[in-house]
Structure 1
């Protein structure tokens, strides 16, 4: 009985998440109501409120799960050496491809900007170590350079998604990593 309840709970949460993502494709989070999510999911509002406080809580949970999944995916690899920055960028892009629909939706203007900041934090954790490791710049300047590179890379990824991923993850990784070597 308990296993059945857990499966039902998982299913309900999955349907609510999918419904919010569907709605985010056409309207901003601020214009989406719990009622609209429930209508899309064909679930009553009391069921929604037994799982989430509001639409923002649901969005935050989606983002948390995706960021945790991204961290787990990237932690499978050792990216300590500078030469591996290209491989890490490629792995990050492969992850984006595997979660294309949700990443494109959450990085669009309809979500909130917290997801973009979280992705930047993950990228900063993995990329700036190797990007700034052998850099002669002082720590403060390296932090600013890293932020510049990461934020630019996020916008390149958003543009790539908008262009139907017209290049492979490897090609995009090479392009993104080439930006840091230009003078």
Structure 2
């Protein structure tokens, strides 16, 4: 299976579709990441702004992400705005909407995926971590960052070095920085 090929939407209890966008759930994670020996996964913890969500999907597609995992609640739905901003990312990258994000993260860990959460208070930089193997990048919500249980499920925490006066980056920009550091390391 090529990097951007998506498993066919199955007529089962797990997958659903809205237009050209197919949604999966926790039960599909093994199949979605199984197509790659070193899958790159993006986990968005309650990203609610449709512009940010769309931009994250666009970046995920460009980086070759195997699946984007989002909680069903407290996350932006895939609206026309999300689809427009994603420039095809919403249609190209499988999106797994899960009821319990912490449980889905545990399942990814059981499947051999190391989880790297982003947090301003982390002692290591994203550039100091090995992102070459099966890795899930965990991004927190606008403003609040990752929820406590989400952060506790991460194997590593990393921060993006900030040299200016602004306290943080927009979640979609931070997603791009982290995903493309993984892409850089894998080349």
TM over 0.5: no
Q: Computing the radius of gyration over CA atoms, which structure comes out larger, 1 or 2?
A: 1
Q: Which is richer in strand?
A: 2
TM-score scaled by length of structure 2: 0.29
Q: Which is richer in helix?
A: 1
TM-score scaled by length of structure 1: 0.30
